[in-house]
Amino acid sequence: MKVTSYGLSKKVSSELASRLGIAYSAVQQPLAPECADAETEAAIITVYSRITAETLDRMPRLKAVIWASTGIDEAGAAECRQRGIEVRNCPTYATNAVAELAIALALAALRDIPSMVEAGKDLRYPSGFAFGSELRGKRCSILGAGRIGSQIARTLIALGCTVTAYSRTRKQELVDAGVRYAGLGDALASELIFIALPDTEATYHLIGDKELGLLKDGSGIINISRGEVIDSTALLAHIGRLAFVVTDVLEGQFPTHPADKATLKAVAELLKKPNFLHTPFVGVCTDEAGERLIRELLAVLAGLGLGKTF
């Protein structure tokens, strides 16, 4: 039995190699037809891999595809299931890491920390006190109250914010904690909008020109889900009246969602805006999340009858 990973970090792949207990190989590049291993029975991939019929045709012994991520590519997963290939993911390993980054991004934008750091390097000390805003007391909305969204909501409440949630499912524990559920239009009326939605057909461009038009002047967006949730071209038209947009993701960032030229141009223009802050998909990048990912991958493989039980 053989397991092959594609595009995993060297640290994670080396840990799997030492702890898995069965034949394992690591390919540094994302899964693609040219690097597909015909002997592999379980493939571990990242969000930078794109599952296609051509790739699967070259892997006749494949029994399972495991996304080393919270979310999966719906189209790729559907192609696997049609062939009887098991689909798995690692849903909980990065919950806290991503939620913490969402709060950090909000604070960085509210206090203009990037500019303050640059000013500090030059010993330029701002005069007066009106050069930032506090998170406490803000009216916040969470779009997508899954694991990550729920963790963001709980943290915001602990920090003294009022929280509204827009989500498919209603969680009583969040209601008990003080979260109010509402429709999308109502949720977009808050001062801060945290986006933690899954990557699905239903969420593609969920936030378009109409929805952006519902945002109040001076409000802010924090997106730690997927870039495709927001229509970048529409965002470019609205960003001038927003306080900020901070995002760990960009539209067209992953091969599963290639963007057209107009979208890529809009993204390039957004990156030039002073109130658009972008971190390069680092929400999952903590030592603790890396260790949890290894444990979840080992547990998934053991559940499939591959490797040791941990």
Considering only the top CATH level, what class is 2-93+287-303?
alpha beta
Helices 95-110 and 147-158 sit at what angle, rounded to 10 degrees? 50
What mean pLDDT is reported for the chain? 95
pLDDT digits (tens, 9 = 90+) for 68-102: 999 999 999 999 999 999 999 999 999 999 999 99
SS (H, E, C) 248-266: CCCCCCCCCCCCCHHHHHH
**Residue-level pLDDT at 57:** 98
**Residue-level pLDDT at 310:** 41
**CATH architecture label of 95-278:** 3-Layer(aba) Sandwich (3.40)
pTM attached to this predicted model: 0.93
Structural tokens at position 200: 């699905």
Residues of the chain with CATH 3.40.50.720: 2-93+287-303, 95-278
Q: Are 61 and 41 in contact (CB under 8 A)?
A: yes
**Residue-level pLDDT at 129:** 59
**Residue-level pLDDT at 128:** 63
**Residue-level pLDDT at 32:** 95
**Residue-level pLDDT at 308:** 58
Which residue type, as a one-letter code, is found at position 75? A
Report the C-alpha gap between 227 and 250 in whole angstroms: 4
Q: ∠ CA 256-221-211 to the nearest 5 degrees?
A: 80
| Beta strands 244-247 and 276-278, pairing class | parallel
> Phi and psi for 64 in degrees, rounded to 5?
-155, 145
Which residues of the chain register pLDDT less than 70?
A: 128-130, 307-310
